[in-house]
Structure 1
């Protein structure tokens, strides 16, 4: 499994887990809210129904009170009138008033006259509730509610859930009351539950869709970014290869030029001197001058070869360290160009790796090459120093300077390989060690600063000293 796929999984898997967690929490919260809403709705409707029942019974009491308390009527006359009044009082489809004696005898129950005169004290509904006893007990206690199941006249005698409220006519030992069927409440609650359930499902589906769209978007965005980064990396790799090949080609040309213009010509001169010495020797003439000249030329060839070898890989860098190598580089540069070079040496005892030393040496070498070619300077200073958190190499000249901003931004396709290749090589060498390169140039001089963080050093800065 490649690293890009792992990174995508690290991004997507937590998102999927978070999505699942959100769905679960949403379901639980919605379910809790649904139950609370249904409970509050049922409680509110039941409270309203109970208030209605109490008001209906109070209305019945008010309608019969003048008869009940009339002393001019006999009990039988008054009871008959009360039954007539209550029988005529109806509300809704199934709303009526009923009356029972304390002994359980039915006195009034509109629509179910066959029950009148019979004792129903022990009547139970299908749930085992002794409804007549309960209503009578509630009446005796000053009024109360009772839930039970009873026949529903509007539905042909089909039983339904009912809540009743009863009061007493104490002098007659009567219980009068009424009730309302509450099956419609259950139906409304069922509709409410269905509506809430549908809303929960729709919300869950929308959350799931949004989450899936987000996961898919992240996946394809990651794919696109990976493709773009790969394309950019390939382009940069091609550019780097081009620069490497260009640098190698320039180095080969330089070495070839050194060999052809310097060593090759010197070898030809030495060969000519040796041939002249050979001819003189054959003619028994004195050939000592030609032999001496040949030896001088051979020594010069050896020196030139050492110089080229030193430029390709200085032995001082490994044997004596970066400070000594920079001093030697400055001395050779000064002898070759007659430009004064001052080196502020910092002895770094085993705190730099070979790679870091080589990188800094090449940066100094490239800077001196640029000074020789372009700066028209008479003095150069090279310093290597430690500042807080950084190891800094500075090369300063008093030359004519150049427009670094325009030079650095010259990046069109036709010139990006050939312009500023030395500066780009310096930056790339430093970037490998998390360092950076700054160039400040104006008329009168140029300052090149190469910095490498001390975290890239082998040991701490206490292993450094100035010489």
Structure 2
């Protein structure tokens, strides 16, 4: 699994998990809200129905009170009149009043006259509730409510859920009351539950769609970025390969030029001297001068070979460290160009890896090459020092400088000019070690600063000391 796919998974998986968590939490919260809403709705409707029942019974008591308390009527006359009044009081489709003795005998129940005169004290509904006994006990207690199942006249005698309220007529030992059927409440609650459930499903679907769209968008965005990054990486890789090939070609040209212009001509001169010495020897002439000349040329050839070898890879860098290698580099440069070179050396004991030492050495070498070719300087200073959190290599010359920045009139600001391969190579060497390169150039000289963070050093920088 490549890094791009891993990054996409790291991005998408948490989003998917978050989406699932949101859906679960939403479902739980909606379910809890639904149950609370249904409970509040049922409680509110039931409270309203109970208030209605209490008001109905109060109306019945008010309508019969003048009869109940009339001392001019006998109990039988008054009871007959109360039954007539209560039987004529109806409300709603199934609303009526009923009356029972405290012993459970039915006295009044409109529409179900066959129950009158019979004792129903132990009557139970399908749920085992003794409804007549319960209504009588509630009436004796000052009034109360009872839930039970009873015949519903509007449905042809089918049973339905009902809530009843009863009060007593103490002087007559009667229980009077009324009730309302509450099946419609269950139907309304079922409709409400269905509506809430539909809303929950729609919300969940919308959340899921939004989440899937986000996941798909992230996936394709990641694919686009991945493709763009790959394209950019391939372009940069091609550019890097071209720069590597250019560097190799320039190095090959330089070595070839030094071999041709230096060593090759010296070898040819040595050959001519040896041939001249050979001819003089054959003629018994003195050939000592030619032999000495040949020895000098051979010594020069050896020196040139060592110089080229040293430029390709200085053995002193590994044997004695970066400070000694910089001193020798400056000394050789001064001897070759007659430019004064001052080296401020810092002795680094087992701090730098071979790669870091090589990178800093090549930067110094490239800087001196640029100074020799372009700066027209008379003095160069090289310093290697430690500052807080950084190892710094500085190369400063007093030459003519160059335009590292130029003024762009179209943008009203200064922009960097096209950099040569030398500066690019320096920056790329440092970027590998999280370092940076700064160049400050003006008419009085140029300062090149190469910095590498101490975190890239092999050991703690406290092991370093200045010579």
TM-score, L = length of structure 1: 0.94
CA distance in 2, matches of 1:309, 1:418: 32
Taking a change above 3 Å as real, the CA distance of residues 397 and 412 of structure 1, as seen in their structure-2 partners, is same
CA distance in 1, matches of 2:418, 2:239: 11
Q: Could you tell me how far 1:258 is from its partner in structure 2?
A: 0.8
Q: Could you tell me how far 1:442 is from its partner in structure 2?
A: 1.6
Q: Could you tell me how far 1:414 is from its partner in structure 2?
A: 21
TM-superposition CA deviations, 1:256-314 (whole Å, max 9, x none): 11111111222222222222223333333332222222222222211111111111111
**Structure 1 residue matching 2:223: 3-state secondary structure:** helix
Q: Could you tell me how far 1:410 is from its partner in structure 2?
A: 15
Taking a change above 3 Å as real, the CA distance of residues 417 and 223 of structure 1, as seen in their structure-2 partners, is farther
The more displaced of 17-26 and 232-241 is 17-26
Taking a change above 3 Å as real, the CA distance of residues 418 and 134 of structure 1, as seen in their structure-2 partners, is closer
Taking a change above 3 Å as real, the CA distance of residues 151 and 62 of structure 1, as seen in their structure-2 partners, is same
Q: Contact 2:107/2:116 (CA < 8 Å) preserved in 1?
A: yes
Taking a change above 3 Å as real, the CA distance of residues 305 and 411 of structure 1, as seen in their structure-2 partners, is farther
Q: Could you tell me how far 1:408 is from its partner in structure 2?
A: 13
CA distance in 1, matches of 2:234, 2:227: 10
TM-superposition CA deviations, 1:342-368 (whole Å, max 9, x none): 000111122111111111000000001
**Structure 2 residue matching 1:25: 3-state secondary structure:** helix
Q: Contact 1:243/1:417 (CA < 8 Å) preserved in 2?
A: no
CA distance in 1, matches of 2:100, 2:20: 61
The more displaced of 431-440 and 263-272 is 263-272
Taking a change above 3 Å as real, the CA distance of residues 10 and 102 of structure 1, as seen in their structure-2 partners, is same
Taking a change above 3 Å as real, the CA distance of residues 63 and 411 of structure 1, as seen in their structure-2 partners, is closer
CA distance in 1, matches of 2:245, 2:409: 22
CA distance in 2, matches of 1:302, 1:424: 33
TM-superposition CA deviations, 1:204-243 (whole Å, max 9, x none): 2222222222232333222222222222221111111111
TM-superposition CA deviations, 1:142-201 (whole Å, max 9, x none): 111011111111111111000000111111111111100000000011111111112222
User: 1:23 corresponds to which residue?
Assistant: 23
The more displaced of 17-26 and 165-174 is 17-26
Taking a change above 3 Å as real, the CA distance of residues 70 and 63 of structure 1, as seen in their structure-2 partners, is same
User: What is the 5 A alignment of 1:357-368?
Assistant: 357-368=357-368
Q: Contact 1:407/1:419 (CA < 8 Å) preserved in 2?
A: no
Q: Could you tell me how far 1:30 is from its partner in structure 2?
A: 1.9
The more displaced of 403-412 and 65-74 is 403-412
User: 2:78 corresponds to which residue?
Assistant: 78
Q: Could you tell me how far 1:126 is from its partner in structure 2?
A: 1.3
Q: Contact 2:408/2:414 (CA < 8 Å) preserved in 1?
A: no
Whether 2:265 is the aligned partner of 1:261: answer no
Whether 2:368 is the aligned partner of 1:349: answer no
**Structure 1 residue matching 2:414: 3-state secondary structure:** coil
**Structure 1 residue matching 2:413: 3-state secondary structure:** coil
Q: Contact 1:139/1:166 (CA < 8 Å) preserved in 2?
A: yes
CA distance in 1, matches of 2:258, 2:410: 30
Q: Contact 1:410/1:419 (CA < 8 Å) preserved in 2?
A: no
Q: Contact 2:348/2:465 (CA < 8 Å) preserved in 1?
A: yes
CA distance in 2, matches of 1:411, 1:136: 99
User: What is the 5 A alignment of 1:197-208?
Assistant: 197-208=197-208
Taking a change above 3 Å as real, the CA distance of residues 398 and 410 of structure 1, as seen in their structure-2 partners, is farther
CA distance in 2, matches of 1:266, 1:414: 49
Q: Contact 1:267/1:297 (CA < 8 Å) preserved in 2?
A: yes
Q: Contact 1:239/1:417 (CA < 8 Å) preserved in 2?
A: no
Provide the aligned C-alpha RMSD in A.
Answer: 2.9
Taking a change above 3 Å as real, the CA distance of residues 102 and 42 of structure 1, as seen in their structure-2 partners, is same
Q: Could you tell me how far 1:413 is from its partner in structure 2?
A: 22
Q: Contact 1:167/1:177 (CA < 8 Å) preserved in 2?
A: yes
Whether 2:377 is the aligned partner of 1:377: answer yes
Unpaired runs of 5+ in structure 2?
none
Q: Could you tell me how far 1:83 is from its partner in structure 2?
A: 1.6
TM-score, L = length of structure 2: 0.94
User: 1:419 corresponds to which residue?
Assistant: 419
Q: Contact 2:408/2:415 (CA < 8 Å) preserved in 1?
A: no
Q: Contact 1:410/1:416 (CA < 8 Å) preserved in 2?
A: no
Q: Could you tell me how far 1:32 is from its partner in structure 2?
A: 1.8
Q: Contact 1:436/1:450 (CA < 8 Å) preserved in 2?
A: yes
Taking a change above 3 Å as real, the CA distance of residues 288 and 406 of structure 1, as seen in their structure-2 partners, is same
Q: Could you tell me how far 1:392 is from its partner in structure 2?
A: 0.7
Q: Contact 1:323/1:347 (CA < 8 Å) preserved in 2?
A: yes
CA distance in 2, matches of 1:415, 1:245: 28
TM-superposition CA deviations, 1:388-424 (whole Å, max 9, x none): 1111100011112222234999999999998421111
CA distance in 2, matches of 1:42, 1:379: 98
Taking a change above 3 Å as real, the CA distance of residues 419 and 411 of structure 1, as seen in their structure-2 partners, is farther
Aligned length: 467
CA distance in 2, matches of 1:123, 1:45: 28
CA distance in 2, matches of 1:32, 1:300: 97
The more displaced of 8-17 and 185-194 is 8-17
CA distance in 1, matches of 2:235, 2:33: 58
User: 1:230 corresponds to which residue?
Assistant: 230
**Structure 2 residue matching 1:122: 3-state secondary structure:** coil
